[in-house]
Structure 1
Amino acid sequence: MNYPMETTETGLPRAHGGPVCQGILKARPEDFQVAEHMHVTPEGQGEHLWLEIEKTGWNTEDVAMLLAKQARVHRLSVGYSGLKDKHAVTRQWFSLHLPGKDDPDFHWPDGLTVLQSGRHRRKLNRGTHRANDFCLRVTRFVGDRDALEQQLQMIIAQGVPNYFGEQRFGRGSGNLVRGTEWLLGGEAPRKKALRGMWLSAVRSNLFNLILAERVRQGCWNTVLGGDILQPQGSRGLFLADDDPAAMERVANGEVHPTAPLPGVPGMASSGPCNQLEQQILAPHAPVIEGLRQIKVEEARRATRLPVRDLQWVWHTDPEREGEDCLELAFTLPTGAFATTVMAELVSSPAD
């Protein structure tokens, strides 16, 4: 079957005119720093040991495996809230279920440092933290500072399209390719974890395609007739047509338009919104039918990503005297991608 494979984040339309400068993001791990913004902290007692760990050069799952091995517990006894990049300096929480056991005597390899620990009554589950704080450095900057700062001000005021980042699709978009082949009748994943990653990649790509069209039409951050809206900071959904103040609420950032993550049909858009979605999804009907056959439930995701507490500063690159360096700090909700923000601002020299 000649199925129309699509690009992922690369090449997607940008909302604020596209990058006006070039630079390198993540030249070194310390150029990309992430810390979980937790709303739950250990209580000081319980069967679960919580650890905040700073890691460099480690992915989240490898740290979980190390903790399980050293604590002599099953891997499923280790919990974490979210996945973090390997090639970065990241701070995240893990938990270990240790009923009736003392805290293990850990031996930490290079790249791992414990920042704090404490006991808690419950396991740390996926999605427990609500946001991530980012501190990023763009080195070898070339471009117009004033133009870039105008874009930064636009992002503060309007946010950015809430695309899924390239990390979601795997190296070389491998998860997207394999997931698509599976849903079209190919080989199923052998591991449960792969199943989730492949399905996520496929659905994320379909969402990106719809959002890309809304960006092209200039309606990624405005109401379309028949839209389904989502309040800021909530997973709830409601019909825009049921709220006379919908346009005003979207304009002031109180609520956001949404687009589907396809699967078994759920709450349906209507009118112009539904027409746009069906037009983009029509070529992908065989894959969507595959999602429905394995009972994946449709969900919706906001098309707009607010970027909170955005700040920036210019200075000289510490390793390249005389060259400009841009540092940015901002906060994003869980499930959002810092690379999506940066793609509105800076392109790499290879792009």
Structure 2
Amino acid sequence: MKLIYPLNIQNEFVFNSSPRDFTVEEIPLYEFTGEGEHLILKVRKKELTTWEMIDIISGYVGIKRKEIGYAGLKDKHAMTIQSISLPAKFEEKIAAFEHPQIKILEVTKHNNKIRVGHLKGNRFQIRLKKVLGLQKDKLDSGLKWIKANGVPNYFGNQRFGTDGTNWIDGKKILEGTLKIRDKKTHEFLIGSYQSYLFNQWLSKRMELNLMLEKFSEEETETFMSLPQGSLKGSKKQPQFYKLLQGDLMMHYPYGRLFEVEDIQEEAERFMSKDIAPTGLVPGSKTKRASGVARMIESQFDEEMKLYGARRYAWIQVSEIKGKYVEEKAHYELSFTLPKGSYATNVLDVLRGSALEY
């Protein structure tokens, strides 16, 4: 099923994921102290994965990859800026580093190694092409909707590989029909399957949200095979993403996990961007939803030895700006997302369509 967002738009534009049209800048979790045992490099790269960039730098200074710290993995087909750390004793050697695809923009020091997840979010700059006349107005309208409502927090295509089938291998590993000896590859493929299940669940919830836009609660219950009365009061919630009894929420953009009790009260807090609903990334030692929310969630839950998590189902987009360059038919777009979120979710809302898996 192709899901259409309630923006009354179907917008066509061209986006090329390339260093010329796509820039990502990491926002550090904290300020670096300027002193300590770790050298902090603010690095700009293009047409390289973060791992490829780390391999080049670690090879140059003569250390193992694991001695270099990083906060997150950045797109290959983009101009990306991020911070990495390495032992401060290599300060003099790194001063002479040169590479056609890597530029060190700043050097400082810190008392800790950068760890995975040590970032607030990412700032994106995107150039859309072949934007003509009415399309510009549609993009303006879409940005206004996103600013007010936010976007679904699907995992991006990067999780699923070039041909989008990594999750299939992850499923085979769990079924015992595929063996991968390398531990990191093994965990990565299962992680891809976890991401796939989350996306499938979120698509189902998006389907429910969209049905409630067009049909009554009773009709939606019938279409979705839910118990009679289970959606009572959901349609009058002010926000697009409707909360269900038993949903697990978290304070936004981070905080404590808790279960929905008074739906209308929590819907108002969600609308004010104080809290947000979460979805299940299946795995062990992870809290499950209850009630009607669990009825939907359980369809996309599987036992696996990897740790699971609760992931925000819906995120807010901040610092949104759009500029139309009429003579080039370009639309220059910038925005900030919390860590772990993908720019493709914003672009899919602007196109007027949801991701398909």
What TM-score bracket applies, with the shorter chain setting the length? Answer: 0.7 to 0.9
1:197-216 deviations in Å (ceiling 9; x for gaps): 21221111111111111111
2:182 to 171, 184, 191: 191
Contact 1:54-1:89 within 8 A present in 2 as well: yes
Contact 1:18-1:345 within 8 A present in 2 as well: no
1:307 to 317, 325, 333: 317
Contact 1:228-1:237 within 8 A present in 2 as well: yes
Alignment of 1:248-263 (within 5 A): 248-263=268-283
- Cα pair distance change 1:254/1:164, threshold 3 Å: same
1:153 counterpart letter in structure 2: K
Alignment of 1:86-105 (within 5 A): 86-98=76-88, 102-105=91-94
Q: Which residue of 2 aligns with 1:275?
A: 295
Question: Match of 1:257, SS?
Answer: strand
Say which is worse superposed, 216-225 or 114-123, in terms of deviation. 216-225
2:6 to 9, 16, 22: 16
Instruction: Report the CA distance between 1:264 and its aligned residue.
Output: 2.1
Contact 2:244-2:263 within 8 A present in 1 as well: no
2:57 to 58, 64, 67: 67
Contact 1:221-1:250 within 8 A present in 2 as well: no
Contact 2:9-2:351 within 8 A present in 1 as well: yes
Q: Which residue of 2 aligns with 1:8?
A: none
Contact 1:168-1:201 within 8 A present in 2 as well: yes
2-structure distance, mates of 1:20, 1:168 = 26
Q: Which runs of 5+ in 1 are unaligned?
A: 1-10, 317-321
1:279-335 deviations in Å (ceiling 9; x for gaps): x32xxx6xx23x1xxx2223111111111111101004xxxxx54111111000000
- Percentage of pairs with the same residue: 29
Q: Which residue of 2 aligns with 1:83?
A: 73
Q: Which residue of 1 aligns with 2:34?
A: 44
Question: Match of 1:24, SS?
Answer: coil
Contact 1:227-1:257 within 8 A present in 2 as well: yes
Contact 1:23-1:347 within 8 A present in 2 as well: no
Alignment of 1:114-129 (within 5 A): 114-129=104-119
Instruction: Report the CA distance between 1:77 and its aligned residue.
Output: 0.6
Q: How many residues align?
A: 323
Q: Which residue of 1 aligns with 2:23?
A: 33
Q: Which residue of 2 aligns with 1:236?
A: 256
1-structure distance, mates of 2:9, 2:58 = 43
2-structure distance, mates of 1:152, 1:174 = 32
Question: Match of 2:322, SS?
Answer: strand
Contact 1:16-1:151 within 8 A present in 2 as well: no
TM-score relative to the length of structure 2: 0.84
Alignment of 1:331-350 (within 5 A): 331-346=336-351
- Cα pair distance change 1:124/1:265, threshold 3 Å: closer
1:183 counterpart letter in structure 2: L
2-structure distance, mates of 1:260, 1:27 = 29
1:111 counterpart letter in structure 2: Q
2-structure distance, mates of 1:248, 1:160 = 17
Q: Which residue of 1 aligns with 2:140?
A: 149
Instruction: Report the CA distance between 1:340 and its aligned residue.
Output: 1.1
1:179 counterpart letter in structure 2: G
1:28-47 deviations in Å (ceiling 9; x for gaps): 42200010111323322222
Whether 2:245 is the aligned partner of 1:225: answer: yes
1:328 counterpart letter in structure 2: L
- Cα pair distance change 1:74/1:144, threshold 3 Å: closer
1-structure distance, mates of 2:250, 2:27 = 22
Q: Which residue of 2 aligns with 1:6?
A: none
2-structure distance, mates of 1:323, 1:347 = 23
TM-score relative to the length of structure 1: 0.85
1:231-275 deviations in Å (ceiling 9; x for gaps): 102142101117883222112111111110111253221111111
Whether 2:216 is the aligned partner of 1:206: answer: no
Question: Match of 2:323, SS?
Answer: strand
- Cα pair distance change 1:119/1:12, threshold 3 Å: farther
2-structure distance, mates of 1:53, 1:313 = 27
Whether 2:267 is the aligned partner of 1:247: answer: yes
2-structure distance, mates of 1:20, 1:243 = 32
